């Protein structure tokens, strides 16, 4: 009897799945925390947590997809390259969708919104200090806001972080993550 393509080669090796769903669930918990808190710092903290965990859920989905032996074989060259260069997560998704489904991601709404989520997450948690005039967004987010990939709160009299570290944007992040996970899996699972 030959093992199935997706069987783990060594039965002693553990295989954990579903981390992505757990992270999406926790993102919803963080959104609820942001919505239910009366303290500004807690609203901001829960909102940032929801945004970060939403992006992590997508990364976990991609990681689980690439962990299958058949995908490790199919994407061996790419995985080797990614381990050396550490590309942006949405670039990894783009490569996988192109190779597996033969599609350009430019037409996929979930992909563009996912890219915006990753840019927002990166701007919030990676150390890149920069002076930014009130009423403007960092270049990585400006196009996302213009195209409604992310819909911030407030107006141009506010700094950009005050416009995105809020429950509504946190809820958008959770919805974007769920749509990206579903869209990605629909494209690559055959």
Q: Indicate yes or no: pTM above 0.85.
A: yes
pLDDT for position 13: 62
User: Per-residue DSSP letters for the chain?
Assistant: -PPPTTS-SSTTS-----HHHHHHHHHHHHHHHHHH--SHHHHHHHHHHHHHHHHHHHHHHHHHHHHSHHHHHHTHHHHHHHHHH---HHHHHHHHHHHHH---GGG-HHHHHHHHHHHHHHHHHS-------TT---HHHHHHHHTTSS---S-TTS-HHHHHSSHHHHHHHHHHHHHHHHHHHHHH--
Walk along the chain (190 residues) and give the pLDDT tens digit of each residue: 455 655 655 656 666 678 999 999 999 999 999 999 888 889 999 999 999 999 999 999 999 999 999 999 999 999 999 999 989 999 999 999 999 999 999 889 999 999 999 999 999 998 777 788 999 999 999 999 999 999 999 999 999 999 999 999 999 999 999 999 999 999 999 6
User: Alpha carbon 61 to chain centroid distance?
Assistant: 9
């Amino acid at each position: 009897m030959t093992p199935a393509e997706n069987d783990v080669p060594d039965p002693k090796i553990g295989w954990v799945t579903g981390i992505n769903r757990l992270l999406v669930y926790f993102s919803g918990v963080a959104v609820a925390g942001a919505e239910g808190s009366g303290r500004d710092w807690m609203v901001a903290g829960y909102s940032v947590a929801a945004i970060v965990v939403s992006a992590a859920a997508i990364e976990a989905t991609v990681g689980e997809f690439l962990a299958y032996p058949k995908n490790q074989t199919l994407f061996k060259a790419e995985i080797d390259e990614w381990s050396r260069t550490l590309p942006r997560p949405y670039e990894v998704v783009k490569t996988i969708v192109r190779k597996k489904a033969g599609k350009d991601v430019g037409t996929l709404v979930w992909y563009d919104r996912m890219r915006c989520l990753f840019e927002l997450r990166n701007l919030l948690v990676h150390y890149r200090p920069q002076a930014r005039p009130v009423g403007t967004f960092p270049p990585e987010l400006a196009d996302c806001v213009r195209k409604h990939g992310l819909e911030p709160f407030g107006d141009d009299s506010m700094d950009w972080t005050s416009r995105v570290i809020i429950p509504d944007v946190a809820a958008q992040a959770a919805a974007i993550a769920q749509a990206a996970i579903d869209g990605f899996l629909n494209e690559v699972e055959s």
